[in-house]
Chains A and B, each alone.
Chain A
Amino acid sequence: TQLLEQSPQFLSIQEGENLTVYCNSSSVFSSLQWYRQEPGEGPVLLVTVVTGGEVKKLKRLTFQFGDARKDSSLHITAAQPGDTGLYLCAGAQSGYALNFGKGTSLLVTP
């Protein structure tokens, strides 16, 4: 059972465009993380959100945690080729185990 559903699964855009990817669940999470994974590498943590309604900004990336702590979104402004990668969301419930979504594969072309 996939607790976290990510959409879209694939996204191909041109440099300079904006995009939003989504992470949805029917379960409530105590926290949610976003990771970026490049080919041949492990995931790298981008941000952790813990409060319902929380918004965090990391340069051109904006992360939002839903009020009910069941969903999250990642918005990238003016995408660059260096943003290319697999974006994974991961939620924590009881204990410390993280449940990962399948990811959104983003390709930004010059």
Chain B
Amino acid sequence: EAGVAQSPRYKIIEKRQSVAFWCNPISGHATLYWYQQILGQGPKLLIQFQNNGVVDDSQLPKDRFSAERLKGVDSTLKIQPAKLEDSAVYLCASSLIGNSYEQYFGPGTRLTVT
């Protein structure tokens, strides 16, 4: 069974530039999560989708971050404009509906903002 796919794996941008990350969850997983993991910390939930609807985006900085999951499968997370403090690993995870206790994570995208 294929795992959660993410791209790109690494991205370096200058502050005030824009960047987008892509995630393809495990087939059949209706729930998709985006996390931000700053060096030395645990992952922090940014947004949770169930199918193509948003369940929780309370910790998403909506002035610069946006995410969509138009067809209930793939998802993109965008940052515009980026700040230095956005440097982190962005993790995507997926789970079956009603089973968010068992989340499967992708390898992440390491973003460096200079």
Contacts and interface: CB of A to CB of B under 8 A. Distances in A.
Are A and B bound to each other?
yes
A42 B9 CA distance: 11
Interface stretch (B43-51, B60-68, B69-77, B79-87): B43-51
B114 to A, nearest CB: 20
Nearest to A96: B100
A102 B41 contact: yes
B20 interface: no
Given A42-B4, A45-B104, A96 B42 contact: no
B93 interface: yes
B40 interface: yes
A88 B48 contact: no
Size bin of chain B's contact surface: 20 to 34
B108 A41 contact: yes
Given A100-B43, A102-B42, A95 B107 contact: no
B107 A42 contact: yes
A92 B100 contact: yes
A35 B35 CA distance: 15
A73 to B, nearest CB: 17
Contacts of B1: none
Contact of A48 (B102, B104, B108): B102
A82 to B, nearest CB: 19
Contacts of B103: 45, 98
A100 B101 contact: no
A100 B42 contact: yes
Contacts of A97: 45, 48, 56
Contact of A42 (B42, B91, B101): B91
A40 B48 CA distance: 23
A95 B42 contact: no
Nearest to B108: A42
Nearest to B55: A96
A33 interface: yes
A15 B70 CA distance: 49
11 contacts: A41-B107, A42-B93, A42-B107, A43-B43, A43-B105, A44-B105, A48-B101, A95-B56, A97-B45, A100-B44, A102-B40
